[in-house]
Each structure stands twice: as C-alpha cells, then as structure tokens.
Chain A
Amino acid sequence: MPWGVQPSRRRFLASASALPILAFAGGAMARSISGTLPWQAFAGEPPKPVNPLGWFFFTPDEVATVEAIVDRLIPADSLSVGGKAAGCAVFIDRQLAGAFGKSSKLYMKGPFANGLPTQGYQGTLTPEGRYRDGLRALNDHVRTGHAKSFAQLAPHDQDAMLAGLESGQLDLKLAQGLSTRAFFELVLQNTMEGFFADPLYGGNKGMVGWKLVGFPGARYDYRDHIEKHNVPYPKGPISIYGES
C-alpha cells in the first residue's frame, strides 16, 4: 500500500477465526485472538501502483524545478536515461502527497529547538513543508541573481547551485531546524529512492535503475546461484507487478 493512501483493509475484515470474545472489544482495530491461528484468504495489503498522470502535490513551478534537479542529480548519459525520464519527480510527488509527506509516523510534539547534529532533524516542518520551503527559497535565490528560475539555468549553473546546497556554502535561510544542507540531503535521498525503488511507485521506469547496477529486483530465489561464485547472474530484473 502506498503510504496512507487507504486505511488498513485488515481492520475491516472480521476474521472468522478471530474470536471477538471481549464483549467490549468493539474498537476499530483492537482485537482479541484465542484458540486459533487467524488467517484469511486475500487479506493482504498489496501496494497500489501510483497513477502515472498529473501532479498530486507539486505546483507547475515546483514540477519544473524538481524535474530539473533530478535530471542533474541523475543526468542522462550513455549509461541510462536521466532522473526526469526515470520518473523521479513523479515518485517524489506521490510520496509527498501520501503519508511520507505528512510525516504522520514521526514524533512531532514540541517544544521545538535546534538540536545538536547527533540529534537529527528538529524542525517543525513535515517533508511536504520542507519541499515547499526549500523549492521556494531556491527559486527566490536564483531569480535574485539570474532573473531566471532554476529550471531555466544552464546545466552547468544548475550543478554549481546544487553543489552549493550540498556543501552548505549556499544558505537558503530556511525554516527553523531546516538547514540548507538537510534540504539538499532530503531531495537527494528521495531522488535516489525514486531511481531504485520498485517501478510501482512512479520512478525507476523500465527498471532503469536496477538495470544500471544489475539488481534483479523481486526475484526472491537465488538457490541456483549461491554457489556460482564470481559468475554473472544471467537473468534481468523483475518488478513486483511482473514487469521484466
């Protein structure tokens, strides 16, 4: 299941084998199970492939910026297509539109204060907020110096700008707790996730990331190869939904 897109299906399955022996256990999810090993056919939670069309989180401006960024982080060359053609921007858009973007699993209680580097991110913004803030500040910065947006810069200038974000030499003065470097790391991490995650999430189109390195994906059985030392694996990748 893509994160938070739908509530747990299992919650609604009144498993025939799970005895609701507590008369008070009428809660949505809490269960009592005794005297049986509960199992129900087709009760799994298979992931739902993302809708490949349109944008669910990014504005048109943000789309242009993110597509330009992912295409510099993973440029097109003789080895593979670039990040944009691989679907990395679509991937990030769908992630931000779901539970990941809203940080619904993180601890988000205050008080908020800037911690030490060993204490990790301590800002109030969820990932969607971090993208909103970072992309806006990046384009504000570019427009001030170049009268252009990031996407309109030459690739060489885009690279220089990204290197400045990575090193922290370029300070976008982002929200509390969000350093420019941390914003860059978030974008880099999500871009790589998009390039190497199963294609059902919108990136890694045609399993391009897996083919780049020679990762066979969801094959799940290598008993015939474990003792073939230093021998190339003969099969190409396969995805969860059977793309090969």
Chain B
Amino acid sequence: MAQLLPHKDVVIMGLGWTGAILAQELTESGLDVVAIERGPWRDTATDFNIGYMPDELRFAIRKELFLQPAQEAMTMRNSVAQTAMPMRDYSSFLPGSGVGGAGVHWNGFNWRFFPNEFQAKTHLTKRYGAKRLNELQLEDWGITYDELEQSYDKFEYVCGTSGKAGNLKGQIIDGGNPFEGPRSREYPLPPLKMPYSSTLFADAAKGLGLHPFPLPASNMSKPYVNSLGVALGECTYCGYCERFGCANYSKAAPQTTILPVLMKKSNFEVRTECEVLKINLRPDGKTAKSVTYIDTAGREYEQPGDIILLCGYGLMNVRMMLLSGIGHAYDPNTGKGTVGRNYCYQTQGSAARLFYEGKHFNPFVASGALSSGLDDFNSDVFDHSALDFVGGANISCGTSNGRPIGNRPTPPGTARWGAQWKKATAETYQNATAIGGQGSSYPTRGNYLDLDPTYKDRHGRSLLRITFDFPDNDLRMSRYISDQLAKIGKAMNPKQMVVSHATKGWNSVPYQTTHNTGGASMGAKPDTSAVNKYLQSWDVSNVFVLGASAFQQNEGRNPTGTVGALAYWAAEAIRDQYLKKPGPLVQA
C-alpha cells in the first residue's frame, strides 16, 4: 500500500531539460513544485569531474550516465508482422537518466525547426498535392513558428548558444543560414572556431553555390552569463561532449544553466532515485489526482498534485500515458487513437566518408556541435516538384570527437584486425573526415508505439514496444541527399570517397541517433493528436506532456531546441492561462 504524501501544487516526472524549465518557470509563480526523478542527483564537480571525465570506456562505451535496460528496456520490431524482442542493451539510441537527463549527454546542437514544418500537412499538400503524401500520415502541429519564436529565443539565451543569425526579422544576414525562420535577435554568442574539416567543407560548398554556416551550438564559444545569471565557461574543444557531462561548465545542460537557480528555491524539491509507476486518475477520468512512485528501498508513495507534468524522455512519457490510461492508445489497423501515433526517428544513413593522404585533421580537437552545415536540401527549402519524396536533410561536416575506441576509420576493403588493419588505422586516423546528412523522418500509419504484450519491467509493467521502419519516402530522400553530399565531397578533393544512404530494415544494434520523436503528438484536433497546442492532454486536462513526444514529425535537425522552446511555451500557457482557469485550454 502506497503511503499518501502531503499535497503539492505541481508534480513533475523527470528532471531533465523540460522538467527543469517547467519547475523554474512555475516556482517563479509561487507554486510548490516537486520533481520525481528515477536516476541519481548529478552535479558537474562530482559527476562530470575533470579529473576523470575524459574516459571513453567508462562513459562512451559502457555508457555510465545513461538509462540502463535493467531499469527500463523497450522492445522493437520493423513491422506488425514481426514479433517484437527486447533491446537487451540500448545501442541504436541511448536514453538519458538522472538529474539533467539527456541534457547532460547531448552534443549541443540547438536548432529551430523550419516554419513550414509546423504546418507540414497543409503546406506540402498545397505545394505538391495530396497524392504525394499518400504513404505518409503528416499533420499540422496546431501552432505556428511565429507563436513559438519567443520561446526559442528564451531557450537559446538560457543555453548560451553559439551561432550566426541568417534571418534577423526577415532580413537575410551574410554568414548565417539564409533559409531559417526569422529570429528576433542575434545568437547570444558568436560561432565556435571552425576546425580544418569544416572549412574545407564550407569552401567546397560555397564553390558550388550553396550556403554553408556554422551550426548552432550550445557549446560556449566565449564565457557566458545566461539570462538567469548563471555563468558558463569557454569551450576547450576537448572532444568529450556526446555521452559525457561537460567538466568545463561549457556545454549547456540543466546543471550549467537552470539548476543553480532552481535548487536554491524553498518551493522546489527533487526526489532522486524515485521512479514513477503510474499517474492516478480521478473516477471520471478527466483529471489526474496523484502520482505513484517507488523508491530504491521498494517503498511506494502516492504524491497528490493539482498539475501533473510528464517530463521524461519522450518515449517514457508515451509509455506512462499508456500505463496510466491517459488518452486512447493508437491502433494502426483502424487509425484510431492517438497515444503512440506518429512515432518518428531520424534518417541518418546519408554520408560520404572522405580519405586523404598527408593531412592532419586532428579529430580530437573537437566539440559536440562543432560543424559547418547547409540547409539547401533540407525540409522544403528546395523544390520537390520533380522529385519523388518530401523532406530533406541538413548536410554537415565537423569534428565532434576523435576518441579511438569508437572513432578509427579505415578505407573500405581494409581488414578489421591484423597487420593490414593496424597499418591502415595508423595512416587514416589523421586523414579522414566525413559529410553527414541528418534526414527528416516522416510519420506513417504503421510506425507507432504501444505496450508490449509479453515483456515486463522489474515492477511487472509492460515495456514500450516500438514498431518502426524507414518509410520509402524517407529512403528516397536519403538517396537524393547522398547524391548531393557526394558532389560536395568530390569538390573537397579527397583521395577516396565512400558514399552511403539509408536502407530498409531499421537495425536496433548500431548507434544511429537518440532523436526519437512523436507518440504524444500535439495538434489542433483530438482525433489526430494526443495533446493540444499547449501540450495539455486532450483527455486529462491537468496533465501536460513535454518533450519530443509532442512532435508530429521529425525534420532534418536535432530536436532539443524545439523541445526547449515547447517547454517554455507550455510553461507560459500554464502560468498565464491554466492557473487562472484550470481546465482544458482548448475546447475539443
């Protein structure tokens, strides 16, 4: 029997980016907020200690900071015809755990989505006709870029993002991304210093008439004091970003931006190593009354609250909704139900690996988001009229790390061990770079999330089941992108180039990306979205579901910037609208 605890105004599941943002904003309004986090407390000095953070084996290979499958696993299959099996180790993607969540281990790419992507269905239907979208299940998000602009701005200034604006209030600025949506002001910091590979790429791209720009990086190009008064240090290009916490206080994370302010508030509390089991609904099912969680000693507690915020990783939010009966589970046969609908990933297969002789790329002189890239072939920037797909990719080249367990390229045809391998490895380490295409992932009727019928977690709850394969539309996109990046690669004049593209049969084994989106998508209509434009559940009005689970599709960009912006957007709606009049903010 769970022990009933004293009431709180707001109960948050998960203290990562969105949990920290919501807690900070709502405590400012005087609310009493508790966050329940299943992972440990983590701070920079202790857990991202500079004395031992540069340890590839411990953090990148054994993945110490990540969620471990023993705690929560998921099952996967490529289609409904297959039987899903548990991913016994996480490898295709790596969910975070602990205070800071995925904000600890990200690379730092801090993008805004393209304005047209928020109206993907309307925009693409108008431009190319409904027939082009037949295979896809695109929807509008119920929100516009213009509505979200100030929230993007807030997140970028909390994070201290390094970059160059390409569109200031409609005016195209040289050196930035001319295809981005208009921003109200310049980035808070100038771009990072570009490495050799990125300058080769940018020169080649310019020569082809393309528009390269330094990618927006929440790795500090200079010392920075953020909008909450928290100081961050200058990036040292150490090459230990993704999968690591930053020991230099130079990568934006909840620890380096929000928690130093939030944790000092008497109206905020975090309970760590406490795992939410279920959201409990009132008998009418229209509001939630409490959260049941379990601590590491196996004791259960019931925490009542007026507002419940699901701030876990997107996939966990969807699972919690399904386990708690919040909304209706999506059924791919009927197309009915919305929880689990429009799950998308990211199409990462487009790449050109370039090999040279006599170069010194110094891949270890690196930062997470240190890249030059271009959007000429992303989203709907280019005309798809004569093409057979929609969507696109950001194409980029940079150095994120040179850690040698994971990063020691050899030319194709090289043996993977023995004397030939060793010679090629020694020769190639300084002589290789790559151009990558980060492609969009668009929803289909058959790609979705639900509860697995067989496999359970250690508390006996069903695991989340992922049914996903790359849609043919996205595979055609990937081939097209590979053709484009091959042209740039050729202009970079390598001795040898190997070009690849995405293929059918999503494989859960090799690492690809942790950009899982959708499943609790936002929208204007309750039959095609699980939450409204304020991320409020259509069915249970005091539950808000944050994170990339709200996306209707994933575009050719990293999702964190939009996750952060939507968090500020939802916080504002709760503060300015919901608190004055609790209940549905949008009438279904």
Please count how many residues in chain A sit with their CB below 8 Å of the partner chain's CB atoms: 87
Contacting residues, chain B, for A219 (C-beta < 8 A): 54, 238
B437 to chain A, nearest CB (A): 22
Q: Chain A interface secondary structure, helix, strand, loop or mixed?
A: loop
Chain B residue nearest in CB terms to A212: B426
Instruction: Please measure, in the bound complex, the distance between the C-alpha atom of A214 and the C-alpha atom of B264, giving whole angstroms.
Output: 45
Instruction: Please measure, in the bound complex, the distance between the C-alpha atom of A113 and the C-alpha atom of B418, giving whole angstroms.
Output: 34
* B416-A166 in contact (CB<8A): yes
A210 to chain B, nearest CB (A): 7
* B265-A227 in contact (CB<8A): no
**Known: A32-B270, A39-B46, A73-B417. Contact between A226 and B85, CB under 8 A?**
no
Contacting residues, chain B, for A209 (C-beta < 8 A): 404
Asked if A157 CB lies within 8 Å of chain B CBs, one says: no
Mark A211-241 against chain B: 1 for CB-CB distance below 8 A, else 0.
0111111111111011101111100000010
* B425-A3 in contact (CB<8A): no
Chain A, 14-72, CB within 8 A of any chain B CB? 18, 21-22, 24-40, 43-47, 72
**Known: A44-B51, A220-B54. Contact between A30 and B41, CB under 8 A?**
no
* A222-B238 in contact (CB<8A): yes
* A107-B362 in contact (CB<8A): no
* B272-A27 in contact (CB<8A): no
Instruction: Please measure, in the bound complex, the distance between the C-alpha atom of A201 and the C-alpha atom of B195, giving whole angstroms.
Output: 31
Contacting residues, chain B, for A212 (C-beta < 8 A): 422, 425-426
Contacting residues, chain A, for B193 (C-beta < 8 A): 226-227
**Known: A230-B360, A233-B362. Contact between A105 and B87, CB under 8 A?**
no
Contact of A230 among B55, B196, B408 (CB under 8 A): B196
Asked if A154 CB lies within 8 Å of chain B CBs, one says: no
Q: Chain B interface secondary structure, helix, strand, loop or mixed?
A: loop
Asked if A108 CB lies within 8 Å of chain B CBs, one says: yes
Mark B232-263 against chain A: 1 for CB-CB distance below 8 A, else 0.
00101111100000011000000000011001
Asked if A145 CB lies within 8 Å of chain B CBs, one says: no
Q: Which of B72-80, B105-113, B313-321, B375-383 contacts A (4 or more CB under 8 A)?
A: B72-80
A212 to chain B, nearest CB (A): 5
Mark A190-224 against chain B: 1 for CB-CB distance below 8 A, else 0.
01110011100100000001101111111111110
Instruction: Please measure, in the bound complex, the distance between the C-alpha atom of A109 and the C-alpha atom of B455, giving whole angstroms.
Output: 8
Please count how many residues in chain B sit with their CB below 8 Å of the partner chain's CB atoms: 95
* B271-A107 in contact (CB<8A): no
**Known: A196-B408, A226-B237, A229-B196. Contact between A35 and B266, CB under 8 A?**
yes
Most chain B CB within 10 A, of A8, A35, A196, is at A196
A214 to chain B, nearest CB (A): 6
Contacting residues, chain A, for B402 (C-beta < 8 A): 215
* B426-A109 in contact (CB<8A): no
B258 to chain A, nearest CB (A): 11
Asked if B70 CB lies within 8 Å of chain A CBs, one says: yes
Most chain A CB within 10 A, of B3, B43, B362, is at B362
* B40-A79 in contact (CB<8A): no
The 8 closest A-B pairs by CB, nearest first: A27-B297, A107-B73, A30-B295, A107-B69, A34-B269, A213-B429, A115-B85, A229-B196
Q: Which A residues have a C-beta under 8 Å from some C-beta of B?
A: 1, 3, 8, 10, 18, 21-22, 24-40, 43-47, 72-75, 77, 79-80, 100, 104-109, 111, 113, 115-122, 159, 162, 166, 188, 191-193, 196-198, 201, 209-210, 212-223, 225-227, 229-233, 240
Q: Can you name 19 extra interface pairs (CB under 8 A) apart from A22-B271, A218-B55?
A: A24-B3, A29-B295, A79-B422, A105-B70, A105-B89, A106-B89, A118-B76, A118-B507, A121-B88, A122-B85, A196-B408, A209-B404, A213-B404, A220-B54, A220-B238, A222-B237, A222-B238, A231-B360, A231-B362
